[in-house]
Structure formats: structure tokens, C-alpha cells
Amino acid sequence: MGKIAIEEHFNLPEFNGEHPQYVNAELMADINRRLLDLSTLRLSEMDAAGIDFSLLSLTAPGVQAVTDTPRAITLARQANDTLAEVVAANPTRYGGFATLPLQDPKEAAAEFERCVRRLGFHGAMVNGFTDNGDAGWYYDHERFLPFWERVAELDVPVYLHPRNPLPANTGIYDGHPVLMGAVWMFTVETATHALRLMTSGLFDRFPNLTIILGHLGETLPFTMWRISHRAEAMGELIKFEKPLSHYLHHNFYLTTSGNFHTQTLNATLAEMGVDRVLYSSDYPYESMREASGWFDHAAISDSDRTRMGHLNARRLFPNLPARIGKDA
């Protein structure tokens, strides 16, 4: 049985090359080319890497960076309709994560329901906070409660993906551009966003919410004991009902996207348990072949490899096609 990959990206021509990336120009040109390919090249890479099925999502920052709300709504629908056509043409190889215009939480909720109930998508990919002029909305804000209520009703996961922080929050990186992007900045931004969700009481209000984090959890499995322990001393500042570690263990799944290191994986498994970890590559920002070469030969049990490779995805996404792969 081949693998099911959860964090695999595509792009629309309207977005391609629009936002700066912290890699060299030659590599970024190749990434942009691969983001637009949804057929021959991508499928051949999947075959070579032993990946039967990929859940595709619009690359960051996507519509989250669009400040004009009507345009964000239009582009989100366009991205979802385009992806639905791609999935329909390759139903045994591709599935979809919805793109959501969270500039308007009620519109985002309606679009998510359309994507799940009519287009057959398996969840959503949200690329960090949503721009609001010079500021940004993080999803612990009460304005997003109608959205989260709909997510809870749909009972499908939301993947919280990194993006660059607000310009006002990048001063610590001044003079050290090598720390920007995926090197470090994405991790801090996304881990903090996840902690905001935990500390806001969101998971007490909607205990069945499921959030997915990539990159083996953006360091949270390795820091959660201290975070949870110290949070207990915050007294009247606490807005949540359970230890923060409870939310990580019960409301989050993690993927191996872009973090191909066995010791790190084993530490994640020790904290989360194998049933909360899913295989991913983070294509095309990472190589499918490198991701699979590591995962297929990592010093872990075959049982754990099988569970992370596809069984956990089958359980989390019960509406995946019964038969997948190029020979299905």
C-alpha cells in the first residue's frame, strides 16, 4: 500500500510568483513551475516516491494575503472550483483542501460547507492569519466564532499552515535574513497562532475541532510540557479549562512535512502517540523523493510506518476513495 500525503501544494497563475520567498531565485523558479503543474510532472514524482494519493492545497499565503474582501471571496471560489476539476480528473490520486476567504468569516463558513458537501473536499488549508490592512486577524478572535461553529458542524480538519508574520513583528530578524521564512520565522509564527487557539478557550467551546500542523508540530511537541506547566501559574489570566497539553494531544494532528529527521520524529511520537502523526512531503518546497526515501527507511517499526503512511489518514479522512493509486 502506497502512502497518502497530506500537505502538498499547488498555485493559480493569479498568485504565482506574487509573494517573496526566502530561497534563491533559481530554486524559486522551479518551485513556481511545479506549483502550477497538476498532472504529468506531479504524478510522475508521486509514482517515483511511492505516494498513492495527495491532498492538494493552495500555497501560502494564498487568499489570506488579499486585503480586498470581495476579491478574496472570488479567488477562493476560483481556487476551489479549479481544484475540484483537477480532483475529478484524477479521483484516485488527488483530494482537496478548501481555500477559505476568512476576511469574511460567514462567507468562509459558507464556502467551506460548499467545498465539503458539494465538492467532496476533506478539510481546509488556512495559510496563517488573514490580512486586515496593516494588521491581521488571528483565528482566536471572537469574530471567527461563526466560522468555527460551522467547522464543528462539518467535523472535518483545518490545516493551519505557516506564512510570514506581520511586518510589525519582524524586527527581531533585522540583519539576519537567513532566519526568515521556513528556516525559523514560519515556525515561531505558526506555533504562536496554535497556542492562541489553545489559550482562547476555543477547544472548550468546540471540543471536536481538529487542527493539523505540519513540520512535526512547529516545535510544540518538544516545548509543550514547559508551556503547559508555566501556564498553570497564570491565575486569573487563564481563559481555558484544561492543561494546554490536553489540547495538543486531543485537538491536533501533526505531519512530517518538511521535517525528515528520525530523532525528531521519535520525539514527536513519544509526545503525541503514533495515531496523531501523518505522512507528508511539503511538495514542491521539498522533494517527494527525499521525503519518501527518509520515511520508507527510517528506524521506526513497520507498524508505525504503516499507520503514519496511510492508516491514520484513512481514519482522519473517512471519505477518501476506497481505491487509490495509479492502478486503482
Domain spans of the chain, in order of start: 3-316
pLDDT at 268: 99
Say whether domain 3-316 belongs to CATH 3.20.20.140: yes
282 in catalytic set: yes
- Average pLDDT on 271-278 reads 99
pLDDT at 14: 80
- Average pLDDT on 236-247 reads 95
pLDDT at 285: 95
Lowest mean pLDDT among 135-139, 187-191, 311-315, 323-327: 323-327
Judged on CB neighbours under 10 Å (0-12, 13-18, 19+), 109 is buried
Is the pLDDT at 29 greater than 70? The verdict is yes
Strand partners, 132: 135
Q: How confident is the model at residue 18 (pLDDT cuts 50, 70, 90)?
A: low
Lowest mean pLDDT among 25-34, 179-188, 286-295: 25-34
At 31, list the grid cell.
518551485
d(CA 285, CA 187): 15
pLDDT at 325: 87
Q: How confident is the model at residue 11 (pLDDT cuts 50, 70, 90)?
A: very high
d(CA 8, CA 123): 13
Which residue from 6, 61, 18, 10 is spatially nearest to 39, judged by alpha carbons?
A: 10
Choosing from 52, 131, 140, 282, the catalytic residue is: 282
- Average pLDDT on 225-231 reads 96
Judged on CB neighbours under 10 Å (0-12, 13-18, 19+), 51 is buried
d(CA 10, CA 16): 9
Q: How confident is the model at residue 54 (pLDDT cuts 50, 70, 90)?
A: very high
% of residues, the chain, pLDDT over 70: 97
Round the average pLDDT of the chain to a whole number and report it: 95
Is the pLDDT at 23 greater than 80? The verdict is no
CA 157 to chain centroid: 10
